Structure 1
Amino acid sequence: MRKLQFICLAAFAFLYSNTTFAQDNAATNYDQGFRLGIGLNGGIPTDSDDYDFSLGGDVRLQYDLSKRTSLTLTTGFTNLFLGKDDLGNNIKDLGFIPAKAGFKAFFWEDQFYVLGEVGAGFAVTNGYNDTTFLWAPGIGYANKYIDISLRYEDYDKFNTNQVALRVAYGFDL
């Protein structure tokens, strides 16, 4: 578990440190602005057998600081579906609302990016009342309308983590 966290963090640092920024008039005249993305997520838990898979939806508000860097705020709903505990007993689904803030840096052709997010997950279904710290490094591809990303997401108190794929439609506000 710690090795995977270290590898993800190292990959994020490496990719971000190799990003270069050109000093030209296009960069200084870039119109900063907001984008909104509406996405669907599907994931596979990787750390335990407690849950079989996850599905969810999200809304991501993105503020472009420059052509290659953005700040993000993401929320939505994710459901971790039924699994079994060590004794073979069924475990209830766990639905939660994530609230994350992040930083996105484009590193290749202004379409491929790395993203790091941190925040909290608020359990809202089946009698769960925990709130967990979560962090999520990822990589992705985005153009004017489509955003596809793959991320690792770790949940401190939900006894699991996941690798998830996000497919989203985005537009300027």
Structure 2
Amino acid sequence: MKNLVIKKTFIGTITMLLFSILTTAQEQEKYDKGFRLGIGINAGVPTNDPYDFNLGADARLQYDLSKKYSLTFTTGFSNMFVSGDDNDLGYIPAKAGFKAFVLKDQLYLMGEVGAAFAVTNGYDKTSLMLSPTIGYATDKIDISLRYDYFNDFPIEKNNSIKEGLGLISLRIAYGFKL
């Protein structure tokens, strides 16, 4: 019974979202659709031990569906630094998402989902990556705050190794039309 309610809610939400996008797209037919590229740096604080901080760089390709809605693809390289003798965790994120401007075409909400490919220090596991974001963008500058969740990266909890790493990051980027 629960699964049926969840499925109906999910289908209803997707239907309303698609209807909203199509309606908005029809109202804004004169908007110049196209690609944008953003190059950014990000720094963050992991929410779990043994990691101390995260530093990375990324590139985000964005396709504007309308003035308010965009599709995104983000990749780059980030490193989770660990103090002491433990190994750092470097990874390459590959995420696709949806961006919606909610206030004066500058404040936006974005959700991305993808994978984080560990590439350093002998750790070779790939993790699902979920990234809700809130940001502010102008024609050239993009500043955002996001939460990343990695379901398969190791953490320390109660003196044992578990999985499920969280990260809060600030991203500053320069963007331009292609």
Bigger strand share: 2
Return the match for 1:168 from 157, 169, 173: 173
Aligned pairs for 1:25-64 within 5 A: 27-46=28-47, 48-64=48-64
The TM-score, its normalising length taken from structure 1, stands at 0.81
What is the aligned partner in structure 2 of residue 150 from structure 1?
Answer: 145
User: After TM superposition, which residue ranges in structure 1, 4 or more long, deviate above 6 angstroms?
Assistant: 20-26
2:25/2:66 contact within 8 Å kept: no
Which residue is equivalent to 2:88? Answer: 93
Query: Which residue, 129, 132, 138 being the options, matches 1:134?
Result: 129
Q: Conserved in 2, the CA contact under 8 Å of 1:27 and 1:67?
A: yes
Match of 1:71 in 2: 71
What is the CA–CA distance in structure 1 between the aligned matches of 2:143 and 2:72, rounded to whole Å?
Answer: 15
Identity of aligned residues (%): 57
CA contact (8 A) 2:62 2:72 kept: yes
> How far, CA to CA, are the matches of 2:59 and 2:25 in structure 1?
33
- Give the Cα–Cα distance (whole angstroms) in 1 for the partners of residues 35 and 74 of structure 2: 13
* CA–CA separation in structure 2 for the residues paired with 1:67 and 1:92: 44
Query: For 2:100, what is the secondary structure of its paired residue?
Result: strand
Asked whether the equivalents of residues 44 and 54 of structure 1 are also in contact (C-alpha less than 8 Å), the reply is yes
Structure 1 distance, partners of 2:66, 2:24, is: 12
The Cα shift of 1:161 comes to 1.4
Residue matched to 1:106: 101
CA distance in 2, matches of 1:150, 1:126: 28
The two structures have a TM-score, normalised by structure 2, of 0.79
The question of whether the paired residues in 2 share the 8 Å contact of 1:49 and 1:83 is answered with no
Deviation at 1:24, TM superposition (A): 10
The whole-number CA distance in structure 2 between the counterparts of 1:81 and 1:24 is 44
Q: Shift in Å at residue 83 of structure 1?
A: 3.9
Is the CA contact (8 Å cut-off) linking 1:122 and 1:129 kept in structure 2?
A: yes
- The verdict on how the C-alpha distance between 1:67 and 1:124 changes in structure 2, with shifts beyond 3 A counting, is same
Larger Cα Rg: Structure 1 or Structure 2?
2
Gap regions ≥5 residues in structure 1: 1-12, 85-89
Other structure's SS at 1:166 match: strand
Q: Indicate conservation of the 8 Å contact 2:149/2:167, yes or no.
A: yes
**Structure 2: stretches of 5+ with no match in the other structure:** 1-12, 155-164
- CA gap of 1:110–1:83, structure 2 versus 1, over 3 A, is same
After alignment, is 75-84 or 27-36 more displaced?
A: 75-84
Judged with a 3 Å threshold, the aligned counterparts in structure 2 of structure 1 residues 139 and 128 are, in CA distance, closer, same or farther, namely same
